[in-house]
Every structure is written in C-alpha cells, then in structure tokens.
Amino acid sequence: MVESDAEAVKANEKTNQKAAFAKIRENIKIAPSVLAADFAQLKLEVDRVTQAGADWLHVDIMDGHFVPNLTIGPPVVAALKRVCHLPLDVHLMIEQPEKSLDAYIEAGASYLTIHLESTTRVEECLTRIRQSHCGVGLTLRPGTPVSALDPFLEMVDLVLVMTVEPGYGGQQFMPNQVHKLEWLAERRLALGLKYLIEVDGGVSDVTTAHLAEADVLVAGNFVFSGDVGQRIQSLRRAHQSARLSKGGV
C-alpha cells in the first residue's frame, strides 16, 4: 500500500511538471534573425518585425575565427537596443567569449548564448552571464553530441540547437539534428528544469513540422524575404500543428 501511494505521488508530480512546462510553452516565441535584414535600413527592419508580432530579435555575432564569417559587435548591439523594444537574443559565435561578455552585457543583450566549443571556461562564462541578470544561453555545433550539454543544463535558461553549421545564413535545414530537441525535452522533464529550447538554422513553415519540442524559433531568410507578418504567423501555425501532431508535447 505504501509503495502504491509513493508511486501515485511520483506520477502526480510528473503530471504537475508536464503541466508547468506546457504553460511555459503555450506560445511559441518567434525571433527573426537580424543577420537576414537589410543593414542599410536596420531601424526600419526592426520596426517591421516588431509591428508584425515578433517576440524577440536574434542577433548573430561572428568573429571570423570561431566561424569563418565576420558580422557585428557591441556598438551595433547597443544601437539595436536603442531602437528595438524586443528582447535582444544575442548568439556569440566567437572564440574565448569570456573576454567579450561584459561588452555585450553593457550593450544591452537580454539573452546571451555562448558555444560549448568556444572556451574551456564554460562554467565561468555562464556564471558571469547569470550575475549580469541576462538570460543564460548555451549552444553547440551540429557535430557535437548533445549529451555534452548535460553538466551545464542546471545553469542555463536557454539551449540553442543549431540545425545548420554556424557561420552563414541561408543554409539548408539539417533534419539529423532534431533528435537533440527530443533529448533536451526529455532531460528537462527528468531534471525538473525550465530552460527554453531554441532552434536556429533553415527554419521555415515547412521545416517547423520537425520542431514540436522547440520553444523559440529563429528565422532569418524565411521571415525577411516576404511579408514578415504573414511569415511570422505561418511559423506559429506550423508549430501549433507540429505540437498537435505529437499529442501536444
């Protein structure tokens, strides 16, 4: 009888956890990637996605070393902060991010995500981001096993799954990365954590069919290459359909 009661309590706790996670994930967040915007009229582009109902603005930082491409730095992030009322979701694709964290914190990042492979001081970086009151994010290259994130999951607010190789926009979606979302969703439930699962790379209203476990969708070319309002809404509808097809995960 005691054993039966214990099992019932455990099952009830698991049900409550699922309900809590479902509440967190009621509405998918759409984060247009500024990398795909027209930099000659950046404020107009920011206004366009804001008015169209975007939730966050995703900002890719590349240093030409950790990844081949070179993009923007803290001054542009600070300028975006002045004209954008959405949370700035800053993804650092740079070597030794510990040297630059303070600059991006001061520039106005709302979420700050580092790569697991970019530093030997991952825990130190995550702790520094936490101390700054920014959201703490961690990501990894497609070739890195998702289990490598496990020691750090309790330290983060967000885990970014790359479904392309980092460094360039406009790449094809990699379906062989979807298992990472499923693993992260299972670990979140098992550990009783609340981190968000974000996806970046080849996201469209077609590929979103594979992304039921995602909480945040980053989309660049798909959003900016058409009517941004229609594109954002089509992502929401596609994600809702994907979740329903998986039984409302």
The residue among 101, 100, 94, 92 whose CA lies nearest residue 66 is: 94
CA neighbours within 13 Å on the CB side: how many for 73? Answer: 8
Instruction: Please report which helix (H) or strand (E) contains residue 123, including its range.
Output: helix 122-131
SS3 for 239?
Answer: helix
The burial class, CB within 10 Å (0-12 / 13-18 / 19+), for 135 is buried
Instruction: Please report which helix (H) or strand (E) contains residue 93, including its range.
Output: strand 88-93
The two three-digit tokens of residue 57, written as one number: 């603005």
The CA distance from 111 to 130, in Å, is 10
Other beta carbons less than 10 A from residue 69's beta carbon: 15
Q: Is residue 215 among the annotated active site residues?
A: no
Q: Is residue 102 among the annotated active site residues?
A: no
User: Do 162 and 146 touch, CB atoms closer than 8 A?
Assistant: no
Catalytic residue among 60, 63, 157, 215: 60
Catalytic residue among 63, 200, 205, 215: 200
Task: For 170-205, give one letter per residue: b (16+ CB within 10 A) or e.
Answer: eeebbeebbebbebbbebbeeeebebbbbbbbbbbb
Question: Catalytic amino acids?
Answer: 60, 200
